[in-house]
Amino acid sequence: MEAHAKIWHLYNTSFRPAQGGQVSIALSSHWISPRRMTDHNIRECQRSLDFVLGWFAKPIFIDGDYPESMRSNLSSLLPEFTESEKSFVRGTADFFALSFGPTLSFQLLDPHMKFRQLESPSLRQLLSWIDLEYNHPQIFIVENGWFVSGTTKRDDAKYMYYLKKFIMETLKAIRLDGVDVIGYTAWSLMDGFEWHRGYSIRRGLFYVDFLSQDKELLPKSSALFYQKLIENNGFPPLPENQPLEGTFPCGFAWGVVDNYVQVDTTLSQFTDPNIYLWDVHRSKRLIKVDGLVAKKRKPYCVDFSAIRPQIALLQEMHVTHFRFSLDWALILPLGNQTQVNRTVLHFYRCVISELVHANITPVVALWQPAAQHQGLPHALAKHGAWENPHTALAFADYANLCFTELGHRVKFWITVNEPNTRNMTYRAGHHLLKAHALAWRLYDEKFRAAQKGKISIALQADWIEPACPFSQKDKEVAERVLEFDIGWLAEPIFGSGDYPRVMRDWLNQKNNFLLPYFTEDEAKLIRGSFDFLALSHYTTILVDWEREDPIKYNDYLEVQEMTDITWLNSPSQVAVVPWGLRKVLNWLRFKYGDLPMYVTANGIDDDPHAEQDALRMYYVENYVNEALKAYVLDGINLCGYFAYSLSDRSAPKFGFYRYAANQFEPKPSLRHYRKIIDDNGFLGSETQGRLCPEEYALCTECSFFRTRKSLLVFIAFLITWGPVIPGILPIGHLVNNIYYGNGTRAFISELSFTLLSGPSLLPELASSCSEVEAVLHITVTTSFCLVHVVPTFEGVPVPVLVS
């Protein structure tokens, strides 16, 4: 330190007046974060920085003496400055020269200097700390970079993204934190001998073949990136990343997804047909009346208590569509129709019916392999599952049952949702394609004419981006992964009727002949078995042909998977890359033509403990905006967008509703998504909303009533309630102060009572029925034995006498 001070004073006295230069000392540092946010850990972090950086920085930039934390810890081991030495050392730097890299800052750092805290390569936080700790000096970053494996050649994607991260953090420190950074230097120009690591790592912008004779310097991807960055003097906003104002087409499907509807067949009212006396004056209990039994009635959807609350959640979101999956194993426990669970089928029918009455279009997936508790029927699973060709026939039989039982209400079918997972064998995928095609052909030939629905398969389609944009090999690798991930099942259906040529050529090259061949009949069966193209999209993955990290290297496809460390990530480390959705939509259109497309799932996990799910709000807004760009700017025939997921009950951390103790609580992102739905896109100050004609639900009974209003003067009918006498419970049920009468549901969907006289036998009552389309709003007053009903239909009074 004294040597440095002498040099500085020498320059300052003898050379500065003529040369006008600046002199400093380059100090290396790490960054450290508290293991837990406690006062003790924060003090330990301060000590760590004092021992590494403050050791030299404090005497030079502050007061000429060592940090107090060093003095109290080292005592006599630390030399003492005389007052003249303090004065001589203090201020001997014209700027703060900082070195921040893997070797000196981290790899050679004495473990004891961490003080049991967590080191972190956060350059921005270090710059802000230096700015506050050392009186806002001008900072010149004189060495910064990272490293790649010694086997990496010119496509050094890992180094390039670290360089991007460090320079972006420097820019943030300048623009957002007010740090006075005056320069940046990347380390290093070329590959060379790297301290204790020797030639086992590479840190150069230029590649050197150490075994060659001439040692030619070849620019790496990082050099091209750095060159471009210098030309732009930073990161100018890209036009394609700017938000777009505008709206989607009329009739655009705004949906939300739940992996499955929890089948709860618990009835909301008594099923006991016996008649009881209600002892209201003494015991307050019901006393059974022997010999009297109520007439049994058919079951109604309102009986299931679990349905209405979920419909209410959807109505609060303002969605027009709701996608969920049926449970194949629950409907057909034996895998065939020898045993059909009619109760479960009735429950699903009621869910669908209630959705339709709420003006929400049900989008029903027959099977979703990735959903929890949604496996194959045990009888099929134990006999090879999808490895067995019989499973495809069993699926067609199951689809036939679903179309028959539910198809009159369902107009939007998904055969299989997200089957293209990497752990599925080619043989299983082959049979699954046949299962889908059999179900599609069955619907097309047997049910479409009467039910007028549409049906397709939904594939997961995350975008694959070349890690090095300057590398042709990376582009080839990215295309190969896209074909293996998406084209594997998409090409036979939407394209040629066969597997992608890229797949077959690659597997043949690897002497892998497990990819089946389609017969001519099979190809004809599968090709064209779609009404639309449905995709699930969640994130974007970078791929590189250079092997860097063995854990994320795919030997099968010879591809290195990675991520841009500047990208925003979710708690589960899923990258948030909105532009990937637009790219995959364009890729699918390029491959398979101008098909109607639906994004049938798109979502992100978030911190379940955070009050504001800000990440999900950002995710939904920006991904939907990229979908809008695909529609408006690229002309993609995009027909709908479904956010994932409805609640945390079926998809923990992904939901728009928190779920705990059977209670649903909306998160802030729900209001955010609802606003987008209400605007049908993004309305700006100069953007007008698209005027769409009102859509009315079909009501088969309404035309009858509209043409006969003049006849609706007096209607009388009998309702089999039994006597409405004080002290006797009518034939019907009273549960949680809600009255459910027998026989009324065939005619009435909403019913309210107000007592004018007599004991408080019937509190405020309500009943509903999903089996009727026409809705009569009725007010009933009771006076002992006579019930007088005054209904209205479209504002016209319709007197009804009930006895």
For residue 52, the SS3 value is helix
688 within a domain of the structure (yes/no): no
Q: Is the pLDDT of residue 745 over 50?
A: no
pLDDT at 279: 85
What would the mean pLDDT of 604-612 be, rounded to a whole number?
91
428 within a domain of the structure (yes/no): yes
Which CATH number is 481's domain given? 3.20.20.80
pLDDT at 415: 98
Q: Is the pLDDT of residue 361 over 50?
A: yes
Q: Residue type for 185, please? A: T
More confident residue, 416 or 266: 416
> Do 194 and 311 fall into the same domain?
no
**Ranges 224-228, 677-681, 769-773: which has the least confidence:** 769-773
> Do 314 and 192 fall into the same domain?
no
What is the token pair recorded at 214? 């001439």
What is the token pair recorded at 587? 């890729």
Q: Is the pLDDT of residue 777 over 80?
A: no
What band does 168 get if pLDDT is binned at 50, 70 and 90?
very high
Q: What is the CA radius of gyration of the chain?
A: 35
| Cα–Cα distance measured from residue 528 to residue 698, given in angstroms and rounded to the nearest whole number | 31
**Ranges 413-422, 576-585, 734-743: which has the least confidence:** 734-743
Count of domains in the chain?
3
> Do 622 and 654 fall into the same domain?
yes
> Do 539 and 447 fall into the same domain?
yes
User: Nearest-CA neighbor of 413 among 353, 460, 360, 455?
Assistant: 455
Q: Is the pLDDT of residue 488 over 50?
A: yes
Quote the longest CA-to-CA distance of the chain: 120
Q: Is the pLDDT of residue 705 over 90?
A: no
> Do 87 and 213 fall into the same domain?
yes
More confident residue, 568 or 197: 568
What band does 622 get if pLDDT is binned at 50, 70 and 90?
very high
More confident residue, 721 or 218: 218
What band does 772 get if pLDDT is binned at 50, 70 and 90?
very low
pLDDT at 278: 85
pLDDT at 438: 99
pLDDT at 701: 52
CA-to-CA separations, 304 to 4, 132, 307, 490, 730, in angstroms, rounded:
83, 63, 6, 39, 22
| Cα–Cα distance measured from residue 302 to residue 782, given in angstroms and rounded to the nearest whole number | 24
Q: Is the pLDDT of residue 747 over 50?
A: no
> Do 211 and 259 fall into the same domain?
no
More confident residue, 747 or 614: 614
287 within a domain of the structure (yes/no): no
CA-to-CA separations, 574 to 537, 577, 614, in angstroms, rounded:
12, 9, 15
Q: Is the pLDDT of residue 799 over 80?
A: no
DSSP character string of 700-766: TTHHHHHTTGGGTT-EE---------TTB--SEEEETTEEEESSGGGT-SEEEEEE-SSSS-S-S--
User: Nearest-CA neighbor of 208 among 196, 219, 216, 198?
Assistant: 216
User: Nearest-CA neighbor of 712 among 645, 591, 800, 594?
Assistant: 800
Q: Is the pLDDT of residue 55 over 60?
A: yes
| Cα–Cα distance measured from residue 664 to residue 656, given in angstroms and rounded to the nearest whole number | 9
| Cα–Cα distance measured from residue 256 to residue 642, given in angstroms and rounded to the nearest whole number | 5
> Do 514 and 445 fall into the same domain?
yes
pLDDT tens by residue, 106-122: 777 888 888 999 999 99
Q: Is the pLDDT of residue 722 over 80?
A: no
Beta bridge partners of 788: 781, 801
Q: Based on the number of CB atoms within 10 Å of its own CB, is 408 exposed (0-12), middle (13-18) or buried (19 or more)? A: middle
Choose the final residue of a domain: 657, 682, 707.
Answer: 682
pLDDT tens by residue, 268-312: 655 677 888 888 888 888 888 888 888 776 777 877 888 999 999
Candidate ranges 73-77, 231-235, 719-723; pick with highest mean pLDDT: 231-235
CA-to-CA separations, 719 to 154, 705, 722, 772, 803, in angstroms, rounded:
85, 21, 8, 17, 7
Q: Is the pLDDT of residue 266 over 90?
A: no
Instruction: Pinpoint the alpha helices (H) of 414-487.
Output: 426-442, 448-451, 472-482
Torsion of CA 182, 186, 188, 190, to 10 degrees: -120
Q: Is the pLDDT of residue 803 over 60?
A: no
Residues making up the chain, counted from first to last: 803
Residue span of the structural domain in which 490 resides: 253-266+301-682
Q: Based on the number of CB atoms within 10 Å of its own CB, is 98 exposed (0-12), middle (13-18) or buried (19 or more)? A: buried
> Do 657 and 717 fall into the same domain?
no
Q: Is the pLDDT of residue 787 over 80?
A: no
| Cα–Cα distance measured from residue 482 to residue 592, given in angstroms and rounded to the nearest whole number | 14
Pairing of strands 253-260, 321-325: parallel
| Cα–Cα distance measured from residue 320 to residue 251, given in angstroms and rounded to the nearest whole number | 9
207 within a domain of the structure (yes/no): yes
Please state, as a whole number, how many other Cβ atoms lie within 10 Å of the Cβ of residue 693. Answer: 7
> Do 721 and 657 fall into the same domain?
no
To the nearest whole percent, how much of the chain has pLDDT over 70? Answer: 84
What band does 758 get if pLDDT is binned at 50, 70 and 90?
very low
| Cα–Cα distance measured from residue 636 to residue 594, given in angstroms and rounded to the nearest whole number | 7
Q: Residue type for 355, please? A: L
What would the mean pLDDT of 471-494 be, rounded to a whole number?
97
- Whether omega before 645 lies within 30 degrees of 0, making that bond cis, reads yes
pLDDT at 152: 93
What would the mean pLDDT of 401-428 be, rounded to a whole number?
95
Q: Is the pLDDT of residue 197 over 80?
A: yes
Candidate ranges 68-72, 192-196, 786-790; pick with highest mean pLDDT: 68-72
The pTM of this model reads 0.83
Q: Is the pLDDT of residue 99 over 90?
A: yes
> Do 28 and 65 fall into the same domain?
yes
What is the token pair recorded at 353? 């019916």
Q: Which sign does the torsion angle of CA 769, 774, 775, 780 carry?
A: negative
More confident residue, 710 or 726: 710
What is the token pair recorded at 425? 């064998």
278 within a domain of the structure (yes/no): no
Pairing of strands 715-716, 732-735: unpaired
**Ranges 576-580, 692-696, 784-788: which has the least confidence:** 784-788
Q: Is the pLDDT of residue 783 over 90?
A: no
291 within a domain of the structure (yes/no): no
> Do 125 and 258 fall into the same domain?
no
pLDDT tens by residue, 419-453: 998 889 999 999 999 999 999 999 999 999 999 99
| Cα–Cα distance measured from residue 364 to residue 344, given in angstroms and rounded to the nearest whole number | 15
| Cα–Cα distance measured from residue 258 to residue 314, given in angstroms and rounded to the nearest whole number | 11
pLDDT tens by residue, 207-240: 999 999 999 999 999 999 999 999 999 999 988 8
What is the token pair recorded at 423? 């752990």
What band does 148 get if pLDDT is binned at 50, 70 and 90?
very high
Q: Is the pLDDT of residue 773 over 50?
A: no
Average pLDDT, the chain: 86
pLDDT at 535: 98
For residue 226, the SS3 value is helix
What band does 755 get if pLDDT is binned at 50, 70 and 90?
very low
DSSP character string of 556-586: TTTEEEE--TTSEE-TT--EE-THHHHHHHH
Whether 120 contacts 34, CB under 8 Å: no
Residue 613 has phi, psi (to 5 degrees) of: -85, 65
174 within a domain of the structure (yes/no): yes
Q: Is the pLDDT of residue 549 over 90?
A: no
Half-sphere exposure (Cβ direction) of 58: Cα atoms closer than 13 Å: 19
DSSP character string of 266-317: -BSS----EEEEE-TTTT--EEEEEEEEPPP----GGGBTTHHHHHHHHHHH
> Do 485 and 558 fall into the same domain?
yes
pLDDT at 264: 81
User: Nearest-CA neighbor of 406 among 449, 350, 354, 368?
Assistant: 350
| Cα–Cα distance measured from residue 689 to residue 691, given in angstroms and rounded to the nearest whole number | 6
Q: Is the pLDDT of residue 731 over 70?
A: no
288 within a domain of the structure (yes/no): no
pLDDT at 536: 98
pLDDT at 763: 34
User: Nearest-CA neighbor of 246 among 554, 634, 543, 802?
Assistant: 634
